[in-house]
Amino acid sequence: MRFIPFLILTLAITHALALDAAGEENWGWGGEDILATPLSMPAANSPRVPLFDEVIGKRLLDKDFKFIANADSVREYATKSTTAYNNAYRRWGAEQNELYNNVFAYLDSDAWEEDLEKLPAGDAAFVRIVVYDVFFHKVDKRYVQIQLSKIENEGQRNYLEQKYHVKSETEELHKNRWMMSVGFGANFFSNGADDVLKNTPAIDMGAGYCLFGRYCADFHIGGIFQRGLKEDVMQEGFTYSKNDVSYTAVEALFRVNALTSYDYELSVYGGLRLHALENDTKQDDKYLEKYGRKMDDFYSFGYTTGIIGAWYFGGDGSTPKIFGISTRIGVATFGDTELHITGYNWYATLNFLLRGGVSNK
């Protein structure tokens, strides 16, 4: 009798499997609903939506450049084509190959360039971009940007700017721009300043901001690696060692980019230069303990002017390059100080640059 429950369980499982195989019985998991909804297929006589390359290719062979130069038409058929690609049940095969062969033969002929020469420069540039993108898929942002300089039609420009996420070179160069720099250089003194100060190497750090990529406000600070004075300083009978006094220059400049491009920049500048002769805090504490007083620091305001040449690299080619190396050469005067420094401070620096654009909108 012990095998009866086992026999009943076996018969129940066998019966359930038989029902499932024969009738696809619904067990509460939506089986009946799935079978009740057949897959929908397009009607055999439904019109096929032409793909974008098909539309452009046929218009190109018909030399319907007015259509291809119309940004609204291009946008409309590009959108329709995307839908057709995503939902296509039928694809055109031999017909496509024949069209492509005809298109490539036309683009390889002299007639292609001759026909473009008959169009306005802006339309020719737009048609060239559309056709090359459709049939060669090798249109990069920099190429589009170069062609944008030839296009005046607002619709064509908007279409290209939105599709390729690019602005014209002129617009990019006239964006507001920030810049940072760090480098090293040398200071040279003449016409009396060399009687007090030594020619020495120096560091240079700067930051600036340019309006419309052209008119810039810059700030620089530079310090000398070695102590800059030639003689000790005498104040109220106390002697302060020349080896403890450091020279620092701080500049506030107005700069104009006379020549500017993605790769190069040439600027002229002018402004104020502060010459500072100081002891650091550690030396001040030493003299305060020794003499009961610190050395009075010396500050001299003068004028400065010079030129900057820069070469840039890096970036994707469609925006001004972001890294650079610059050379700065300038000359500064001195104001009156107790050290009676006169003459000129000639300086030159080699700097590493980082710049970035900011939208003007």
Give the residue-averaged pLDDT of 5-24: 49
pLDDT of residue 110: 93
pLDDT of residue 359: 62
Looking at the domain assignment, is residue 11 inside a domain?
yes
Whether residues 234 and 347 share a domain: the answer is yes
pLDDT of residue 145: 92
Whether residues 294 and 149 share a domain: the answer is no
Cβ contact 147:167 at 8 Å: no
C-alpha to C-alpha distances, 292 to 238, 277, 289, 348, nearest whole angstrom = 10, 20, 6, 39
Residue with tokens 């169009």: 119
Does 63 have pLDDT greater than 90? yes
Q: Which of 22-26, 37-41, 120-124, 287-291 has the highest mean pLDDT?
A: 120-124
pLDDT range class, residue 43, cuts 50, 70, 90:
very low
* Domain-terminating residue out of 166, 192, 217: 166
Does 13 have pLDDT greater than 50? yes
pLDDT of residue 8: 53
pLDDT range class, residue 62, cuts 50, 70, 90:
very high
Per-residue pLDDT tens digits for 133-158: 988 887 888 899 999 999 999 999 99
Whether residues 30 and 108 share a domain: the answer is no
Token representation of residue 106:
């036309």
Looking at the domain assignment, is residue 46 inside a domain?
no
- In angstroms, the first-to-last Cα distance of the chain is 91
What is the CB-side half-sphere exposure of residue 161 using CA atoms within 13 A?
15
Whether residues 120 and 142 share a domain: the answer is yes
Residue 45's region, left for phi above 0, alpha for psi from -120 to 50, else beta, is alpha
Region of poorest pLDDT, from 32-46, 60-74, 258-272: 32-46
User: Phi, psi (5° rounding) for residue 302?
Assistant: -140, 175
Contacts with 49 (C-beta within 8 Å, 6 or more apart), sequence order = 80, 81, 83, 84
Token representation of residue 41:
């297929």
**Per-residue b or e along 130-163, where b marks 16 or more CB atoms closer than 10 Å to that residue's CB:** bbbbbbeeebebbbbbebbeebebeebbebbbeb
The domain of 309 spans 175-358
CA 334/CA 332 separation, integer angstroms: 7
Whether residues 279 and 351 share a domain: the answer is yes
User: Phi, psi (5° rounding) for residue 67?
Assistant: -65, -45
Whether residues 24 and 124 share a domain: the answer is no
* Domain-terminating residue out of 166, 184, 211: 166
Neighbouring C-beta atoms of residue 278, cutoff 10 Å: 17
Does 27 have pLDDT greater than 80? no
Record the pTM. 0.72
Does 21 have pLDDT greater than 60? no
Looking at the domain assignment, is residue 42 inside a domain?
no
Task: Give me the number of domains the chain comprises.
Answer: 3
Give the residue-averaged pLDDT of 80-92: 53
Q: What is the mean pLDDT of the chain?
A: 82
Whether residues 275 and 126 share a domain: the answer is no
Cβ contact 347:200 at 8 Å: no
pLDDT range class, residue 312, cuts 50, 70, 90:
very high
Whether residues 67 and 194 share a domain: the answer is no
CA 216/CA 179 separation, integer angstroms: 10
Residue with tokens 């009946």: 32
Whether residues 111 and 184 share a domain: the answer is no
- Chain Cα centroid distance, residue 76: 31
Contacts with 173 (C-beta within 8 Å, 6 or more apart), sequence order = 213, 260, 261, 262, 320
Look at residues 355, 323, 356, 329 and name the one whose alpha carbon lies nearest to residue 344: 329
Token representation of residue 179:
């810049």
CA 253/CA 216 separation, integer angstroms: 8
Whether residues 158 and 266 share a domain: the answer is no
pLDDT of residue 37: 39
Does 257 have pLDDT greater than 50? yes
Whether residues 153 and 237 share a domain: the answer is no
Region of poorest pLDDT, from 19-23, 142-146, 188-192, 293-297: 19-23
DSSP string, 43-88: -TTSPPPPPHHHHHHHHHHTT-HHHHT-HHHHHHHHHHHHHHHHT-
pLDDT of residue 83: 57
Region of poorest pLDDT, from 3-17, 63-77, 102-116, 237-251: 3-17
Contacts with 302 (C-beta within 8 Å, 6 or more apart), sequence order = 272, 273, 275, 332, 333, 334, 335, 345
